Structure 1
C-alpha cells in the first residue's frame, strides 16, 4: 500500500487502450482499501491479433505502467477480480504473481473446458489452479466490494459494486452493459452477447441493484460518450 496506510476505500479508473474511430475505452479498475490492492481486469496484452473486420485498438499505457504511476508494482496487487476472460479484460493476468484471482466458477469451468471464445489467449488466464478463488453467484468479496453475477455476455460474467465512503455505491457493469444507452429493460442484444435472454435478465438485475442500493454512479464497460466525463487515475473516487 502506498502513501497513507489508512487510505479509505478508493476507486481508480484506468484506460489502457481505445478502439478507433470512436475512441471506445478499454478500461481496468483499481480498488484500494486500508489493507488490500484489488485490480479489476487487466486489459489487452502487448501483442495480439485482431479479429478480421474489427477495428485495431490504439494502445495507451498498459495496466502495469498505470499502476506504477500510482506507486504500485505488480507484486503489490493482492486480488485480481476476473470479470471474464475476453482478451481485452485478461491480457496481463500473468503479470501479477501474488494476486489471488477471483472468478465465477461457471466462467472458469466453461473457459477451462475449451470454449473457443477464450482458447486463443488461454496463456493469459490459464494460471495455476491454486491461485484461483472460484465464487458462485453474488458474493461479498470484502467489506464494501461486492461481485454480482451477470451472465449473458458470456457464461459466468460478473459485475462489481463498490461502496465508497464519499461518492456512495458505484456500479461497474463491465460488459453486462457496455453502453449507457443499453441500460434499460427492453435493451437490444449485443453482437458479442452469447446468451441474449440472459443478457437482458442481467441488465434488469443491475437496474434493480441501482434502485435498491441507491447507486450514485454507474460506469459502463465501453462507453465512449460517458468515459470522457469520468475521473481517471491518478485522480480517484473516494
Structure 2
C-alpha cells in the first residue's frame, strides 16, 4: 500500500519547537484510509467555536492548504475516495477534519468513544470539542483484542493491513495505528510520545515539550509506561519497522 505523509496542522507552543499534525493517507484497493485528520476546513472557518481557548496554547496555523481535503485534492483524489478514518484519539487537533469526509467510517477504540462521546468525565468534557463530531460520523468501535504484535499484548486488525494497538494514557482510549505499507510497517504512535528524544534516548527533549505532555496527560503513569515500551521497541531496530508520532516534524517523512 502506498502511504502519503501529510502535515495537517502546523502548531507552535510558546517557547517550544515547531509542531506538525502528522496524518497518514493510505492507498488501498478499496479507496483511501486516513490515520487521523488534523485540523479541517470547519476549524479554519470557526476557530473560536471548534478549537476554543486551546488555540492560544498551541497557536495552530489554520492554513486551508494544510487540510487533508485540500492536500488529497492536489494528489488527484476526491473527498469521497476516503472510505475509512482510523483515529488515534479524539483530541481536537486529530479529528478536526472528520467533517470534511462525512461518508467515511471512523474507527476508534471503544474506550476513547466512551471518554469523548458517550460518557465523558468532567475533565474530558473540557478536553474534547463535541462540535467537531456534531455532523454525526459513522463510528466503528474496537476493543483491545487480537493477536500479539511486536511485544504488544494485542493488535486488532481494523482493516486489511491496518492494526490498532491500545496505548491509553494520553487519553482514556488512546491508540497507536500500524500500517503495512508493503515495504515494511509504519507504527503511528499518535500522542503516545511527543518528541523523538523520548524513544531514541539521545536527542534532548525540550522542557516545554515535557511540560506540555504532562499537562495534557489523562493518566501520566501510563504515558511513562508507553514511553518505555516504545523506546524498547525502537532500540530493537527492527529493519521493517518505522516508528513515528503525531507532532515531531523530524519523524515525518516526505510524502
TM-score interval for Structure 1 and Structure 2 normalised by the shorter chain: 0.7 to 0.9
| Deviation per residue, 1:128-176 (Å, 9 max, x gap) | 47x211001131122321111111000111111112222x111111101
Q: Distance in 1 between matches of 2:222 and 2:62?
A: 32
Is contact 1:39–1:81 with CA below 8 Å preserved after alignment? yes
1:124 to 124, 132, 141: 132
Pairwise CA RMSD of aligned residues? 2.6
In structure 1, distance between residues paired with 2:27 and 2:76: 12
For residues 23-52 of structure 1, give each alpha carbon's deviation from its aligned partner in whole angstroms, at most 9, with x where no partner exists: 211222211112231011111221323437
| Aligned counterpart for 2:10 among listed residues 11, 15, 18 | 18
Following superposition, the deviation at residue 206 of structure 1 comes to 3.2
> Which of 223, 234, 243 matches 1:218?
243
TM, length-normalised to structure 1:
0.81
Of 97, 100, 106, 1:95 maps to: 100
**In structure 2, C-alpha distance between the alignment counterparts of 1:202 and 1:126, rounded to whole Å:** 31
> Moved runs in structure 1, 4+ residues, more than 6 A?
none
Could you list the runs of 5+ residues in structure 1 that have no partner in the other structure?
1-8, 233-238
Aligned residue pairs, count: 219
Using the TM superposition, name which of 19-28 and 97-106 deviates more.
Answer: 19-28
The separation in 1 between residues aligned to 2:133 and 2:232, in whole angstroms, is: 31
Given that residues 162 and 180 in structure 2 are in contact (C-alpha distance below 8 angstroms), is that contact kept between their aligned partners in structure 1?
yes
Distance 1:110 1:126, change over 3 A: farther
Cα deviation per residue 1:98-136 (whole Å; 9 max; x = unaligned)?
21110000010111213444556202135547x211001
Query: What's the counterpart of residue 153 of structure 1?
Result: 170
Residue-by-residue CA offset, 1:186-227 (whole Å, 9 max, x unaligned): x96633111111112223333455549654321122114444
TM-score (norm 2): 0.76
Partner of 2:71: 66
- Please name the residue that 2:186 is paired with: 170
- Checking the alignment, whether the CA contact within 8 Å between 1:103 and 1:133 is kept in structure 2 is yes
State the shift of 1:64 in Å.
0.9
